[in-house]
Chain A
Amino acid sequence: ETGVTQSPTHLIKTRGQQVTLRCSSQSGHNTVSWYQQALGQGPQFIFQYYREEENGRGNFPPRFSGLQFPNYSSELNVNALELDDSALYLCASSFEYRGNTEAFFGQGTRLTVV
């Protein structure tokens, strides 16, 4: 058990809809990152939040947005869903200090866009 929990575990949405995924970080961690993992591939970095501010972003369009709350939980929002957004979405929490830190992942949310 990593202490990182994600909800929901599975979700089916229709193309064009909007979706919100949630993540509860491990206690004591100040940073949360989101990753997208397509079937058969390694995870791809979406963005990171540190102390409620976006602190880095991968090559994803603006319709992918996020929030981090004062209790360090987080949301990933995706607008105007496309079929290619179907993937496993992973949340990772860590305590960031000079980059020497270990990331702990949740169990993921499987999003299917039809």
Chain B
Amino acid sequence: KQEVTQIPAALSVPEGENLVLNCSFTDSAIYNLQWFRQDPGKGLTSLLLIQSSQREQTSGRLNASLDKSSGRSTLYIAASQPGDSATYLCAVRNAGNMLTFGGGTRLMVKP
């Protein structure tokens, strides 16, 4: 059974810092991995999708890496802004097409 863990559970940083969010998973037989952003009480916004054959994806200030063999992914946020404050979730897709989510990292960027 796939298990996904995100560390840290919460993070508070001053504006302008570069930061790294971590995601680990137990079963490396994944199709892809997605990073999502969730604002309080809202739905999920897809940030980046990494296919199992890829090593990283970039979108603006965001960069996500994937090391499938070690069961790890990181989300790098450059030059953080208060508007980046949200919960960040990673999810992996295995056979069966379901997404297995981690518990999320709550990020607060202070002005």
Q: Which A residues are within 8 Å of any B CB, using their own CB? A: 2, 4, 6, 31, 33, 35, 40-45, 48, 50, 55-56, 58, 88, 90, 92, 96, 98-108, 110
B28 within 8 A of A: no
Instruction: Name the 9 nearest CB pairs between A and B, nearest first.
Output: A42-B101, A99-B31, A105-B44, A107-B43, A45-B98, A108-B43, A102-B49, A105-B43, A42-B103
Distance A90 CA – B44 CA, assembled complex (angstroms): 8
Interface string of B80-100 (1 = CB under 8 A from A): 000000000101010111111
Cβ-defined contact, B101 with A100, below 8 A: no
Distance A100 CA – B31 CA, assembled complex (angstroms): 6
- Chain A residues near B89 (CB, 8 Å)? 42-43
With contacts A42-B89, A105-B36 taken as known, whether A99 is within 8 angstroms of B97 at the C-beta atoms is: yes
**Interface of B: prevailing SS:** strand
Q: Which B residues are within 8 Å of any A CB, using their own CB? A: 4, 6, 31-32, 34, 36, 41-46, 49, 51, 89, 91, 93, 95-104
- Chain B residues near A104 (CB, 8 Å)? 46
Listed by A's residue number, 17 A-B pairs whose Cβ atoms lie within 8 Å are A4-B43, A6-B43, A40-B103, A41-B104, A42-B4, A42-B91, A42-B103, A43-B91, A45-B98, A45-B100, A48-B97, A48-B98, A92-B99, A96-B97, A99-B32, A103-B91, A103-B99
